Structure formats: structure tokens, C-alpha cells
Structure 1
Amino acid sequence: MEDNLVKVVLRLEEGEDVYVETPWATDLGDGRYRLENCPFYFYDLAYGDIFSAEYSEEEERLAFVKVLEPSGHKLVRIIFENPADEDGKEKEQLDSLVAMGCTYEGTNPKYICLDIPPEIELGKVTEYLISNELNWEHAAPSYDTLYPESE
């Protein structure tokens, strides 16, 4: 790994549930970092986004503060019924999304974070997800960011 890669804490609190993840980020200097992974739980942060982070005494490492410059990447999360790394419809569906130009990371073969590059329309991908009746969610931008009037 490069010398300027660091781990940064992303903390998401939903009621009594707390999710903590530590993706890789490139240290750009002056408290600025570029995300090099897809967040598995955190919202409104996508691959390539530039964000600020500060050392947290509580976390004992760098912790995310806020997005400074969105990269234009979008992120959706998919939960497949069956593992997407085995032959079957899930693998075919994931392969179709990759053929559209998306990339992905997975915590396991059923839970996939789909990175949608800036040149790919979010609507094209979500239309595919809906038409294939997949279980998915908006992550970056989040549903609440996309549809603030629905709260």
C-alpha cells in the first residue's frame, strides 16, 4: 500500500445500533482525504469523495467530519437472496451491472456496495435494480438526500 493511505473511522448511529467502519483514504494534506473504498453502512459518502477528518480521542484515530468535494460517484447497496459469486441469477445480475460500467465491493457475496461512476446515470442503474426486483437502497446520495420532501 502507498505511504499516504490511512484508515478513517466512519460512525453511523441509528437509534441504539452503532455501525463503525474504517475504509482506506488517501491523505491529501491539510486535513483533507479522498475515499478509496465504498462505505458499507455510512450514507452520503462515495468512492473518490474528498472529505475532512480530524483525530478523535474517542476513536483513537482519524474520524470523518464532512464531505468537502463530491466526486460524482454514486453508491447503492444490494442484498442478494443468494450469493452473487456463485453461478445463478444473482451472479448474472451483478455481471450486468458491471457491464453497465459499475464496480463493486462486498462484505460477503450477498451484501454488495455498487459504485456507480459519474458517467453512468443513477436512474439507469436503479431502473435495472427495480425491474429485476432486487433488494437495494440508495446510499450516496441517500434516499433522504434525493427525496427530502418524503420525510
Structure 2
Amino acid sequence: MVLPDVRLLLVQFIVHEHPVGRAAQNYLAHVDLERFGLAGQREQLWLRPCQGGDYVVACLPFRVYGLALNDRVRLSEDGATVVELLERSGHRVLRVLFTPRSDQDAFMARITGEVEIAGLAFEWSGKRHLAVDVPQDASPVRLFGVLQEEIDAQQAYWEWADVEAF
């Protein structure tokens, strides 16, 4: 009898409920977040297969650093883990963590509306963590203004996902 690896039973998986690149066929692999200071956590990434056996990121990483939408990556031999960034797409991921508030659902709707007005793809992780795709040609000035108000009020904290390399 083969017993499961007990370490995997203790791992918290960060998942994407509504990945921006969901297609008829996607592939799931994970990234161990220990290398980014998040021991015991792994993020499940949605991928699209491309020619040559590589994959393209089809979601907006919530915790993984150095990856963005449409980046080309290589998987481990067993296909379970993203192990290498092969080519950057030119997209960036803006991540925002909002503080808890009593009107969380209304607040989420307002922020979602602002991101939609900016014409940007986005994903929520829970009700407080937002990831926004920012392509090279995007100019989300209005959205940045709205987010800056939250930051100035100490109601939000932000980072670019590429501040650390993959």
C-alpha cells in the first residue's frame, strides 16, 4: 500500500476560481511558494499548452512572483510543477490587498467596476485580494487614482508581481 506524502496534506493551495484565461482546454500545475517566503503554500496556476511542450500562463498569479498572464513556462518532468520562465509576455500583474470593511460586497463591486472601466482583466482571491493584468499598452490612470485613495487611507496595500524574479 502506498501512503500519501503527509507534507502535501498540510499544504495550503491558493486556487483561481475564475481564471481570466479559462478555455475549453486548460492544464493545471502548481508553484511551491516557499521560495517566496510562504512555506506550506502552493499556488495552482491555469495554463494553456503551446507547441513544443511548453505552456502559457492563463491566470493572474496571486502569490507567485515573476510570472504574468501569457508568460511562457516549462513544467517539471512529471508535469505537476512550474519550474522555469521561458519568455515574458510583457504583461504585469498589479496585486492589491484591501483591509476588511463592513461593506465588503459593495466595495468589491465598486472596485470591480473601476477595473472594468479601465478595460483590464482581473481576478479576486477571496473578497480582499485583487490581481489586475496590466498589458504594456495599458494606461489605467483612473484606476490607479481610485487605488491611491485607498492606499492613502491605509485601506489597501499594493505591489507589482514582478518585484521578484521567478
TM-score tier (shorter): 0.7 to 0.9
> Cα 1:77–1:7, aligned 2, differ >3 Å: closer, same or farther?
same
Render the CA deviation track for 1:90-130: whole Å, top value 9, x for unaligned. 53234223312222111211111111123214888656533
Residue of structure 1 equivalent to 2:73: 51
Please state how far the C-alpha of 1:78 moved relative to its aligned partner: 1.1
Aligned match of 1:12 in 29, 33, 38?
33
Q: Which deviations, in whole Å up to 9, do the C-alpha atoms of 1:46-65 show, x marking residues without a partner?
A: 11111111234xxxx42112
Q: 1:23 to 1:55 in 2, by over 3 A?
A: same
- The secondary structure found in structure 2 opposite 1:38 is coil
Q: Which runs of 4+ in 1 moved over 4 A?
A: 121-128
Aligned counterpart, 1:101 = 119
Q: Which structure 2 residues correspond to residues 132-151 of structure 1 after superposition, within 5 A?
A: 132-133=150-151, 134-139=156-161, 141-142=162-163, 144=164
Which letter maps to 1:68?
Answer: L
The TM-score with structure 2 as length reference comes to 0.68
> In the alignment, does 2:151 pair up with 1:130?
no
Give the equivalent residue in structure 1 for 2:6.
Answer: none
- Mark the structure with the bigger radius of gyration: 2
- Please tell me whether the aligned partners of residues 114 and 143 of structure 2 are also in contact (alpha carbons under 8 angstroms): no
Residue 20 of structure 1 and its aligned partner are, at CA, apart by 0.4
Query: Normalised by the size of structure 1, how large is the TM-score?
Result: 0.73
Is the 1:72–1:117 contact (alpha carbons within 8 Å) kept by the matching residues of 2? yes
Match of 1:64 in 2: 82
Larger strand fraction of residues: 1
The structure 2 residue matched to 1:73, chosen from 91, 98, 101, is 91
Q: 1:36, CA displacement in angstroms?
A: 0.6
Structure number having the greater helix percentage: 2
Counterpart of 1:86, as a letter, is D
State which of 90, 105, 120 in structure 2 corresponds to 1:86: 105
RMSD between aligned residues: 2.7
- The offset of 1:23, in angstroms, is 1.5
Structure 1, unaligned runs of 5 or more: 146-151
What is the identity, as a one-letter code, of the residue corresponding to 1:50?
A: R
Aligned length: 137
Which shifted more, 22-31 or 115-124? Answer: 115-124
Structure 2 unaligned runs (5+)? 1-22
